[in-house]
Chain A
Amino acid sequence: MNNRIKEFRARFGLTQQELADKVHVRRETIVFLEQNKYNPSLLLAYHLARVFDVTIEELFSFD
Protein backbone atom coordinates (compact mmCIF):
# COMPACT_ATOMS: atom_id res chain seq x y z
CA MET A 1 0.00 0.00 0.00
CA ASN A 2 1.33 3.44 -0.94
CA ASN A 3 0.23 6.81 0.33
CA ARG A 4 0.52 10.51 -0.52
CA ILE A 5 0.69 11.79 3.06
CA LYS A 6 4.02 13.56 2.54
CA GLU A 7 2.73 15.28 -0.59
CA PHE A 8 -0.49 16.48 1.09
CA ARG A 9 1.37 17.49 4.24
CA ALA A 10 3.69 19.68 2.18
CA ARG A 11 0.70 21.14 0.30
CA PHE A 12 -0.96 22.08 3.59
CA GLY A 13 2.30 23.40 5.03
CA LEU A 14 2.19 21.11 8.05
CA THR A 15 5.13 19.66 9.90
CA GLN A 16 5.12 15.99 10.88
CA GLN A 17 4.57 17.00 14.49
CA GLU A 18 1.61 19.22 13.62
CA LEU A 19 -0.01 16.46 11.59
CA ALA A 20 0.64 13.97 14.40
CA ASP A 21 -1.04 16.32 16.88
CA LYS A 22 -4.06 16.73 14.58
CA VAL A 23 -4.66 12.98 14.32
CA HIS A 24 -3.59 12.22 17.93
CA VAL A 25 -0.65 9.96 17.20
CA ARG A 26 3.08 10.15 17.88
CA ARG A 27 5.36 11.84 15.33
CA GLU A 28 7.10 8.51 14.69
CA THR A 29 3.86 7.07 13.37
CA ILE A 30 3.74 9.82 10.73
CA VAL A 31 7.42 9.19 9.90
CA PHE A 32 6.81 5.46 9.37
CA LEU A 33 3.62 6.16 7.43
CA GLU A 34 5.42 8.52 5.05
CA GLN A 35 8.18 5.96 4.53
CA ASN A 36 5.54 3.31 3.74
CA LYS A 37 6.80 1.25 6.66
CA TYR A 38 3.46 1.07 8.38
CA ASN A 39 -0.09 0.53 7.16
CA PRO A 40 -2.52 2.55 9.30
CA SER A 41 -5.80 1.38 10.75
CA LEU A 42 -8.97 2.39 8.94
CA LEU A 43 -9.70 4.92 11.70
CA LEU A 44 -6.31 6.63 11.35
CA ALA A 45 -6.64 6.61 7.54
CA TYR A 46 -10.04 8.27 7.95
CA HIS A 47 -8.65 10.93 10.31
CA LEU A 48 -5.75 11.67 7.94
CA ALA A 49 -8.09 11.93 4.96
CA ARG A 50 -10.31 14.30 6.94
CA VAL A 51 -7.35 16.57 7.84
CA PHE A 52 -6.47 16.90 4.15
CA ASP A 53 -10.13 17.05 3.10
CA VAL A 54 -9.77 14.20 0.62
CA THR A 55 -11.11 10.66 0.40
CA ILE A 56 -9.19 7.69 1.71
CA GLU A 57 -8.80 6.44 -1.87
CA GLU A 58 -7.08 9.69 -2.86
CA LEU A 59 -4.66 9.42 0.03
CA PHE A 60 -3.92 5.69 -0.13
CA SER A 61 -3.45 3.46 -3.13
CA PHE A 62 -3.07 -0.29 -3.46
CA ASP A 63 -0.48 -1.74 -5.83
Chain B
Amino acid sequence: MKSFLIPLFILAALLIGVLFLFLASPVTTLDIIQLVVIVLILAGTAIFVLDRYRSYKRKEPAEDEYSKSLNQRASAVSFYISLFLWLAIMILSNRLQLCTESWITLGILGMALTNIVVWCYFRFRGLKSE
Protein backbone atom coordinates (compact mmCIF):
# COMPACT_ATOMS: atom_id res chain seq x y z
CA MET B 1 0.00 0.00 0.00
CA LYS B 2 1.23 3.49 -0.77
CA SER B 3 2.93 4.61 2.43
CA PHE B 4 1.78 8.22 2.25
CA LEU B 5 -1.94 7.44 1.83
CA ILE B 6 -2.70 6.74 5.51
CA PRO B 7 -1.11 9.96 6.85
CA LEU B 8 -2.74 11.84 3.95
CA PHE B 9 -6.13 10.41 4.92
CA ILE B 10 -5.54 11.41 8.56
CA LEU B 11 -4.56 14.92 7.45
CA ALA B 12 -7.71 15.27 5.32
CA ALA B 13 -9.92 13.92 8.14
CA LEU B 14 -8.37 16.36 10.62
CA LEU B 15 -8.87 19.25 8.22
CA ILE B 16 -12.52 18.40 7.57
CA GLY B 17 -13.12 17.84 11.31
CA VAL B 18 -11.65 21.22 12.21
CA LEU B 19 -13.71 22.97 9.53
CA PHE B 20 -16.94 21.39 10.79
CA LEU B 21 -16.05 22.13 14.42
CA PHE B 22 -15.51 25.82 13.80
CA LEU B 23 -18.37 26.30 11.37
CA ALA B 24 -20.91 24.53 13.58
CA SER B 25 -20.41 26.37 16.89
CA PRO B 26 -19.70 29.94 18.06
CA VAL B 27 -15.98 30.72 18.35
CA THR B 28 -14.50 31.66 21.75
CA THR B 29 -10.95 32.72 22.73
CA LEU B 30 -10.15 29.17 23.82
CA ASP B 31 -11.36 27.92 20.42
CA ILE B 32 -8.94 30.30 18.70
CA ILE B 33 -6.03 29.01 20.83
CA GLN B 34 -7.06 25.46 19.97
CA LEU B 35 -7.35 26.40 16.30
CA VAL B 36 -3.78 27.80 16.28
CA VAL B 37 -2.47 24.60 17.89
CA ILE B 38 -4.45 22.44 15.43
CA VAL B 39 -3.10 24.44 12.48
CA LEU B 40 0.46 23.85 13.76
CA ILE B 41 -0.27 20.13 14.10
CA LEU B 42 -1.71 20.07 10.57
CA ALA B 43 1.40 21.83 9.24
CA GLY B 44 3.63 19.24 10.91
CA THR B 45 1.50 16.41 9.54
CA ALA B 46 1.68 17.99 6.08
CA ILE B 47 5.52 17.93 6.27
CA PHE B 48 5.33 14.25 7.26
CA VAL B 49 2.97 13.43 4.37
CA LEU B 50 5.15 15.35 1.90
CA ASP B 51 8.19 13.43 3.16
CA ARG B 52 6.47 10.10 2.60
CA TYR B 53 5.15 11.19 -0.83
CA ARG B 54 8.64 12.21 -1.96
CA SER B 55 10.00 8.83 -0.89
CA TYR B 56 7.20 7.08 -2.76
CA LYS B 57 7.94 9.08 -5.93
CA ARG B 58 11.64 8.20 -5.70
CA LYS B 59 10.74 4.53 -5.10
CA GLU B 60 12.63 4.62 -1.80
CA PRO B 61 11.67 2.63 1.30
CA ALA B 62 9.04 4.49 3.34
CA GLU B 63 11.14 3.98 6.47
CA ASP B 64 14.82 3.30 6.95
CA GLU B 65 17.10 3.29 9.98
CA TYR B 66 17.39 7.10 10.03
CA SER B 67 13.64 7.73 9.92
CA LYS B 68 13.06 5.06 12.58
CA SER B 69 15.70 6.66 14.82
CA LEU B 70 14.10 10.04 14.17
CA ASN B 71 10.66 8.78 15.23
CA GLN B 72 12.06 7.04 18.31
CA ARG B 73 14.03 10.07 19.39
CA ALA B 74 11.10 12.46 18.80
CA SER B 75 8.76 10.17 20.75
CA ALA B 76 11.19 9.82 23.66
CA VAL B 77 11.82 13.55 23.98
CA SER B 78 8.18 14.55 23.51
CA PHE B 79 7.06 12.00 26.13
CA TYR B 80 9.41 13.61 28.63
CA ILE B 81 8.16 17.11 27.77
CA SER B 82 4.54 15.90 27.95
CA LEU B 83 5.03 14.82 31.57
CA PHE B 84 5.93 18.40 32.45
CA LEU B 85 3.03 19.69 30.34
CA TRP B 86 0.55 17.63 32.38
CA LEU B 87 2.24 18.78 35.57
CA ALA B 88 1.81 22.40 34.44
CA ILE B 89 -1.85 21.71 33.59
CA MET B 90 -2.36 20.15 37.03
CA ILE B 91 -0.96 23.24 38.74
CA LEU B 92 -2.81 25.69 36.48
CA SER B 93 -6.13 23.87 36.85
CA ASN B 94 -6.17 24.84 40.54
CA ARG B 95 -5.71 28.51 39.70
CA LEU B 96 -7.64 29.05 36.44
CA GLN B 97 -11.34 28.46 35.92
CA LEU B 98 -11.78 26.12 32.95
CA CYS B 99 -13.94 23.04 32.56
CA THR B 100 -12.31 19.59 32.74
CA GLU B 101 -12.92 18.91 29.02
CA SER B 102 -10.99 22.06 28.09
CA TRP B 103 -8.01 21.05 30.23
CA ILE B 104 -7.98 17.57 28.73
CA THR B 105 -8.29 19.02 25.20
CA LEU B 106 -5.41 21.41 25.89
CA GLY B 107 -3.33 18.55 27.29
CA ILE B 108 -3.93 16.26 24.32
CA LEU B 109 -3.35 19.05 21.79
CA GLY B 110 -0.22 20.04 23.70
CA MET B 111 1.10 16.49 23.53
CA ALA B 112 0.41 16.29 19.79
CA LEU B 113 2.01 19.68 19.21
CA THR B 114 5.05 18.72 21.29
CA ASN B 115 5.54 15.57 19.25
CA ILE B 116 5.22 17.42 15.93
CA VAL B 117 7.57 20.24 16.99
CA VAL B 118 10.20 17.84 18.35
CA TRP B 119 9.92 15.66 15.22
CA CYS B 120 10.39 18.73 12.96
CA TYR B 121 13.32 19.91 15.12
CA PHE B 122 15.21 16.62 14.74
CA ARG B 123 14.09 16.29 11.10
CA PHE B 124 15.91 19.50 10.17
CA ARG B 125 18.72 19.41 12.77
CA GLY B 126 19.72 15.78 12.36
CA LEU B 127 20.58 13.20 15.03
CA LYS B 128 24.19 14.13 15.69
CA SER B 129 24.26 12.84 19.26
CA GLU B 130 22.79 9.40 18.41
Interface residues of A (CB under 8 A from B): 17, 20-21, 24-29, 32, 35-41, 43-44
Contacts and interface: CB of A to CB of B under 8 A. Distances in A.
Given A28-B67, A40-B65, 7 more contacts: A21-B60, A26-B60, A29-B64, A29-B66, A32-B126, A39-B127, A44-B65
A39 B65 CA distance: 11
Contacts, number: 47
A27 B57 CA distance: 12
B126 A25 contact: no
Q: Which 6 A-B pairs have the closest CB atoms?
A: A37-B126, A29-B66, A25-B64, A26-B60, A32-B126, A26-B64
Given A32-B126, A37-B127, A38-B126, A25 B58 contact: no
Interface residues of B, number: 14
B124 to A, nearest CB: 10
Contacts of B128: 36-39
B61 interface: yes
A35 B60 CA distance: 20
Interface in B44-65: 55, 58, 60-61, 64-65
Contact of B66 (A21, A38, A43): A38
Contacts of B66: 25-26, 28-29, 32, 38
